[in-house]
Amino acid sequence: MNLRDLRYLIAVAEHRHFGRAAEACHVSQPTLSGQIRKLEEELGVILFERTSRLVVPTPLAESMLVHARASVEQADALRELARAGRDPYAGRFRLGMIPTLAPYVMPWLLPALKRSLPALQPAVWEDVTDSLIARLRRHELDGILIASPPEGEDLAAALVFEEPFLAALPAGQALAARATLSEQDLLGTDLLLLAEGHCLRDQALALCGTAPAEGADLRATSLETLLNLVTAGMGSTLVPALAVRQLARERGGLALRPVEGGRASRGIRLAGRTGYPRQALLDRLATLLAAEVPSDSGCRPAIPAPRVHA
């Protein structure tokens, strides 16, 4: 038994399909299937129940997976320590971002990384907060950019900047005639929200203290969809400032107004695992994010330079 066998075991258990597991491991399906059979013969047990459509871990395999994942993580940590010892700012770095942030941060963050850290190879993963945190804990991501503080002593985070919200209203609505709105103005408005799982949904509900608009498409999964609904006169919504710079250009029928009040913003945080061997890279990235956030966005960078420490 070796680490390669353990990686194959984990992949089959997660994908429950030999073909997809082989693709994830960058090997052919016969190679992976044959190695799993050899592992079963070596151990003298059956690890997976196989059908024509599904592969399911046996109860014994489920117990073994706990140790397999721990062994692979420790081996990866040893390699990461060695790499960090050579150059913490070089090599692959897997960064997760929430969907209401990723499309609006990447256009300025990735060029900044290329200028400041040319040896770094960033890979961006977009997902909702809970999934990003789970992937970070499973060592599938090296850092995540989120809008709510992560819980647990195994994670640390630094506030890198504050991002204000703007109210997006149909251009013909009475509130659209005002230059700015208060949090009180938003109470009782027909609020359009993203689908469950998006942290922006919870933040909007906390700020406005109101229920979603009746009859609205509450399964919307993007800010683009929400703004189209607003333009169609179906309600109002809150839009983060960085998204406004990209989404609201040349969009008729839409009024965007600043919202006064201390709660009309969200804190953007860079989170990582405590004890991460490339801690210097996380701190450098947090500082870069604070320094590079566009000055015309209304975002307020963290001062002094943020550090991702527990």
Asked if pLDDT for residue 198 goes beyond 70, the answer is: no
Average pLDDT over residues 48-67: 90
- Between 54 and 111, the higher pLDDT residue: 111
- Condensed to tens digits (0 to 9), the pLDDT of residues 296-310 reads 888 999 888 788 875
Provide the CATH number for the domain around residue 180: 3.40.190.10
Nearest to 170 by CA among 247, 236, 248: 236
For range 101-109, the mean pLDDT: 94
Tell me the average pLDDT across 83-104: 87
Number of residues written out for the chain: 310
Question: Is residue 191 domain-shared with residue 252, that is, in the same domain?
Answer: yes
Give which of 162, 168, 173, 165 is closest to 248, Cα–Cα: 168
Domain holding 44, by residue range, is 3-84
Tell me the pTM. 0.70
Within this chain, do residues 229 and 283 fall inside the same structural domain, yes or no? Answer: no
Residue 180 lies in a domain: yes
Question: What would the mean pLDDT of 61-67 be, rounded to a whole number?
Answer: 92
Residue with tokens 């040893």: 78
Residues 283 and 252 placed together within one structural domain of the fold: no
- For residue range 264-285, list pLDDT tens digits in order: 888 999 999 998 888 999 999 9
Query: Which value, to the nearest 10 degrees, does the dihedral of the CA atoms of residues 271, 277, 278, 279 take?
Result: 50
Among 67, 84, 101, which residue terminates a domain?
84
Is the residue at 307 inside a domain?
Answer: no
Residues 269 and 157 in one domain: yes
Residue 215 has pLDDT above 50, yes or no: no
Pairs from 32-37 (Cβ < 8 Å, separation ≥ 24): 32/8, 35/4, 35/5, 35/8, 36/5, 36/8, 36/9, 36/12
Two tokens, residue 172: 């013909």
The answer to whether residues 249 and 274 belong to one domain is no
154 & 19 share domain = no
Q: pLDDT-based confidence at 199, cuts 50/70/90?
A: low
More confident residue, 113 or 253: 113
d(CA 49, CA 16): 10
Q: Which residues lie below 8 Å from residue 152, measured CB to CB, with a gap of 6+? A: none
Inside any domain, residue 308: no
Question: Is the CB of residue 124 less than 8 Å from the CB of residue 97?
Answer: yes
pLDDT of residue 208 exceeding 70: no
Q: Which of 64, 84, 104 is the last residue of a domain?
A: 84
Distance of alpha carbon 39 from alpha carbon 109, whole angstroms = 44
Q: How many domains does the chain have?
A: 3
Q: Are residues 69 and 192 in the same domain?
A: no
**Is 290 a residue whose pLDDT tops 90?**
yes
Separation between Cα atoms, residue 118 and residue 126, nearest integer Å: 22
Give the CATH number, domain containing residue 22. Answer: 1.10.10.10
Instruction: Please give the pLDDT value at position 217.
Output: 44
Asked if residue 154 and residue 108 are part of one domain, the reply reads: yes
Q: Lowest-confidence range among 190-194, 237-241, 303-307? A: 190-194
* Residue 224, token pair as written in the block: 């683009």
Give pLDDT, residue 225. Answer: 81
218 lies in some domain: yes
Residue 145: inside a domain: yes
Tokens of 40: 């079963």
Q: Tell me, yes or no, whether 143 and 203 share the same domain.
A: no
Alpha-carbon span 68 to 217, nearest angstrom: 43
Statement to judge: residues 171 and 241 lie in one domain: yes
189 within some domain:
yes
Task: Please give the distance of CA 236 from its chain centroid, rounded to a whole number.
Answer: 25
Confidence of residue 156 (pLDDT cuts 50, 70, 90): very high
What is the rounded radius of gyration, in angstroms, for the C-alpha atoms of the chain? Answer: 23
Looking at the domain assignment, is residue 136 inside a domain? yes
pLDDT average, residue stretch 222-233: 82
Whether residues 230 and 251 share a domain: the answer is yes
Beta bridge partners of 104: none
Residue 309 in domain: no
Residue that is last in its domain, among 28, 52, 84: 84
Residues 269 and 235 in one domain: no
